[in-house]
Amino acid sequence: MALHTLSTTRDSELPSQSEQAAAPSQHWNEAALEMLNEYAVVLGVPLTCVEVATGKVRARTQPDEPFVLPKMVQEKLSESREPRIFDLNTGVAWFSLPLPRLEGIPVVAVGFMLQRPGVRPNDLIVAASQADWSQSQLDAWLEQLPVCTPRTLFRFLAAAVNLSVQQDQESALRKEVDDLATQLEYTYEEICLLHALTQNLQISRAPRELAELALQRLHCLIKAEAHAIWLDDPKGGAHFLVEGDIPFDELGMARFIARFEGHDWSRPLVKNRIKGTLLGADYPGLQNIIVVSIAEGMHRSGWLVCCNLSQGREFGTVEARLLSSIASILGTHGRNIDLYRQHDELLLSFVRSLVSSLDAKDAYTRGHSERVALIARRIGEQLRLPEEDLYDIYLAGLLHDIGKIGVDDSILRKPGQLTDEEFKQIQKHPIIGYNILAGIKNLQAVIPGVRHHHEAWSGKGYPDGLAGEQIPLMARILAVADSYDAMGSDRPYRNGMPIETLEGILQRGAGQQWDARVIEAYFAVRDDIKRICETYSPNNGNLLRVGGFDEQL
């Protein structure tokens, strides 16, 4: 017997044992069966998949035809990456082709061709007899069997292997393209999520709002049973936000974090295969989990959690990277808001210090600036101004008389009526206040109110004689609030006006002294303003909580 081999090596060869172990266990291995059929189509002959060690038939492309595997051929079968030709000098050229393993068992494709026309090999006749074929069936079968010399068969087998290699390469390329498309789609969604978060990093947006936005988009990227954010907002309180069905509550989350107190929280905590462990016993229903710290530097503000990936998958670097990016954005946003609040508190403390300096000069007006600030803010609120404008109006109210620091103490404290010259000195305080604040960058927004709160709608006010809508809206609001408190407060030389008299003056002055729209807003909230003045005390602490208002700076 002559044994011929071809040195044609497949580029994409059999799957590794680990790959096979990971593949689903099916009746026929899909890869082996697909390659068996490909070879049969290319060569134009029936092929049989047999086990290398036992010769056991596992699959056939033409199961209705007789099959025979000579013992001498079976003994020479091997798990080779090269096709082989077996010449038994019987007029039949047997050959084998490599196949992927079948359920972990080495197999090959076996076939044969006649070496010359008219040959009637004994092995084939015996096989037909065992299949109970008639003579006519046998003759017809032998007549249609392909004829090929060993040399030509070599070329056929080489072509079959090369074609199979090309098809495998094309298949691998298609899979690579599909995988790349899937990865690109995931990356695009990931970028969209991170972009959406960064586009909503305004200081005015509360940490909870950004966290809710993250949860709404996260479940589209990480297919898990539940996503949660445990957020500690110093101003807004603690929040436990959940998307999906999470197998523990807020207290359970707290116990979980405490359990891993020693973990390096600069890195995600990943726990897979929890079932059957002590952790799984304490948290029934928890299969796997990933927890990421929401922090900026040393300032931790919460935790981002995903648990129980779908389809039994485990958490890995892809999920860890995405969650870390989201947590970093949330942590930075929370820290920025905290720093902004600290800055506002520092600015407000500075403003109050200036106001205290004025109070030290003019004790009779103590509290006037604070009441004007609250009254003006309430009117602005009625006018539906945005929160940042209300904050600026509040600061402008505190500082509207700051220029009186530059007015002589004897004029400020004079118990009687002022002379014309003394009144001219008083009229300088808006310009003095403007000059004091002009160099302070963070107070530029309040300057229009400080400079123009004594302008009149008719144009007969001071210091610039502005009229109508030339007067900044902030100043028009402060003018009403200032006049209300000034007329209603007791002074050394007179008592405060009754509310009926005061409001009669405001009504008559609408469209002359004051903006009629601001006067209308005042009357819409007159009860609130009255309560502000009645409950006000310089010792109340947070001014914005006076009179039932509970706003946050």
Question: Considering the domain boundaries, does residue 49 fall inside one?
Answer: yes
Q: Tell me the two tokens of residue 549.
A: 């208002």
The last residue of a domain, from among 155, 172, 189: 172
Q: Report how far Cα 527 is from the mean position of its chain's Cα atoms.
A: 46
- The boundaries of the domain holding residue 420 are 362-548
> pLDDT per residue over 20-38, tens digit each?
333 344 444 678 888 888 8
Say whether pLDDT at 261 is over 80. yes
Query: Both 89 and 146 in a single domain?
Result: yes
Q: Tell me the three state secondary structure of residue 49.
A: strand
The last residue of a domain, from among 338, 354, 380: 338
Peptide bond into 46 cis (omega under 30): no
The DSSP code for 168 is H
Query: Both 57 and 154 in a single domain?
Result: yes
> pLDDT per residue over 382-414, tens digit each?
999 999 899 999 999 999 999 988 888 888 777
Is residue 407 a contact partner of residue 431, using CB atoms and an 8 Å limit? no
CB atoms within 10 A of CB 96: 26
Q: Tell me the three state secondary structure of residue 410.
A: helix
Alpha-carbon span 267 to 106, nearest angstrom:
45
Query: Both 372 and 334 in a single domain?
Result: no
CA nearest 472: which of 492, 488, 505, 449? 449
CA nearest 450: which of 424, 477, 488? 477
Say whether pLDDT at 427 is over 50. yes
The mean per-residue pLDDT over the stretch 488-510 comes to 86
CA nearest 239: which of 265, 215, 264, 222? 215
Alpha-carbon span 162 to 82, nearest angstrom:
11
Alpha-carbon span 446 to 393, nearest angstrom:
7
Residue listed under structure tokens 């096979």:
20
Averaged pLDDT score across all residues of the chain: 83
pLDDT at 363: 64
Q: What is the CATH number of the domain that holds 521?
A: 1.10.3210.10
Neighbouring residues of 451: CB distance < 8 A, sequence distance ≥ 6: 430, 431, 433, 434, 463, 464, 475
The mean per-residue pLDDT over the stretch 66-86 comes to 85
Question: Considering the domain boundaries, does residue 347 fall inside one?
Answer: no
Query: Both 414 and 538 in a single domain?
Result: yes
Total number of domains constituting the chain: 3
| Max Cα-Cα span within the chain | 142
Query: Both 314 and 395 in a single domain?
Result: no
Say whether pLDDT at 8 is over 60. no
Is residue 113 a contact partner of residue 147, using CB atoms and an 8 Å limit? yes
Alpha-carbon span 500 to 414, nearest angstrom:
28
Alpha-carbon span 335 to 328, nearest angstrom:
10
Question: Considering the domain boundaries, does residue 84 fall inside one?
Answer: yes
Query: Both 39 and 152 in a single domain?
Result: yes
pLDDT at 539: 64
pLDDT at 492: 63
Query: Both 334 and 417 in a single domain?
Result: no
> pLDDT per residue over 186-242, tens digit each?
777 777 777 777 887 777 778 888 888 888 888 778 889 999 999 887 666 788 999
Query: Both 204 and 316 in a single domain?
Result: yes
Query: Both 380 and 439 in a single domain?
Result: yes
Is residue 521 a contact partner of residue 383, using CB atoms and an 8 Å limit? yes
pTM score > 0.85 for this model? no
Alpha-carbon span 381 to 453, nearest angstrom:
18
Question: Considering the domain boundaries, does residue 94 fall inside one?
Answer: yes
Say whether pLDDT at 548 is over 50. no
Query: Both 369 and 308 in a single domain?
Result: no
How many Cα atoms are found within 13 Å in the side-chain-facing hemisphere of 388? 6
Query: Both 93 and 239 in a single domain?
Result: no
Alpha-carbon span 485 to 193, nearest angstrom:
51
Query: Both 328 and 366 in a single domain?
Result: no
